[in-house]
Amino acid sequence: MDASLLIIIAVGLFVVYAVVQYNRLVRLNVQVDEAFAQIEVQLKRRADLIPNLVETVKGYASHEREALEKVVQARAASTTASTLPAIAAADGALTNALRGLLAVAEAYPDLKASSNFLQLQEELATTENKVSFSRQFYNETVRTLNTAVKTIPTSFFVGLAKVGAREFYEVDDPAARNAPNVKF
């Protein structure tokens, strides 16, 4: 074997290696996009549930104007948010507003016993879980991507793959981080 053959083999191996690293970064970046799309799907589901909930609560507790108003406003804000921090902030505000409304609902036994509310209860519980799990999964994918972007050897290929560290989805709600399972 002469030297030129060795060089060709070495270059070939390096190209294969670079392709693997490049693909890993691109794949992780796509996973973050997918995870973010999942959050948006779940937020949309929740936004679609709210008019029904608001109507149901109004029927029994119409004078709880403040709590109802907060939910309606938070929902409106969440549908117009477009950047990640804005979406996360609106999401957190809506979660808190919903929690406030449901706390108010506790005081109305008729409301809690109504068939409409009982139907909504499971829907709300699962939607709230889905929202919080999709946030958690998104942050997990960001964590994996950011680790790859900052650690050797993948960090050498960041420029080539045009992939950078991504933002975490942070909801301004200390309770949501420790206890993702909201009970309704």
Partner 1 sequence: MANFRALQAANKRKTFGLLFFMGLLVWLIAYVAISSFGGTGAGVIPLAVGISLISVWGSYYASDKLVLKMTRAKVIQESDNPKLFNLVNEVCIASGLPMPKVAIVDDPAPNAFATGRDPNHALIAFTTGLLDVMDRDELQGVVAHEMSHVANRDTLVSAIAATTAGIVALISDILMRMLWFGGSRNRDHNGNQMPIFLAIIPLILAPLAATLLKAAISRKREALADATAVSFTRNPAGLRAALEVLARDNTVVQARSSAVAHMYIESPLDASAASKLFATHPPIQERIETLRRMEANPSQ
Specify whether the CB–CB gap between 98 and 71 falls below 8 A. yes
Q: Closer CB to partner 1, residue 73 or residue 119?
A: 119
Q: Closer CB to partner 1, residue 26 or residue 72?
A: 26
Burial of 5 (0-12, 13-18, 19+ CB in 10 A): exposed
Specify whether the CB–CB gap between 149 and 155 falls below 8 A. yes
Q: Which residues contact partner 1 (rule: CB under 8 A)?
A: 31, 35, 38, 42, 122, 125-126, 129-130, 133-134, 136-137, 141, 177-181
Q: Closer CB to partner 1, residue 28 or residue 61?
A: 28
Tokens of 89: 């902030």
Tokens of 127: 């939607």
Q: Closer CB to partner 1, residue 150 or residue 177?
A: 177
Cβ of residue 3: shortest distance to partner 1, in angstroms?
40
The Cα 126–Cα 59 span in angstroms is: 23
Taking alpha carbons only, the member of 8, 59, 24, 41 closest to residue 160 is 24
Q: What is the largest CA-CA distance in the chain?
A: 89
Taking alpha carbons only, the member of 30, 10, 13 closest to residue 148 is 30
Q: Closer CB to partner 1, residue 122 or residue 172?
A: 122
Cβ of residue 98: shortest distance to partner 1, in angstroms?
17
Tokens of 112: 């809690």
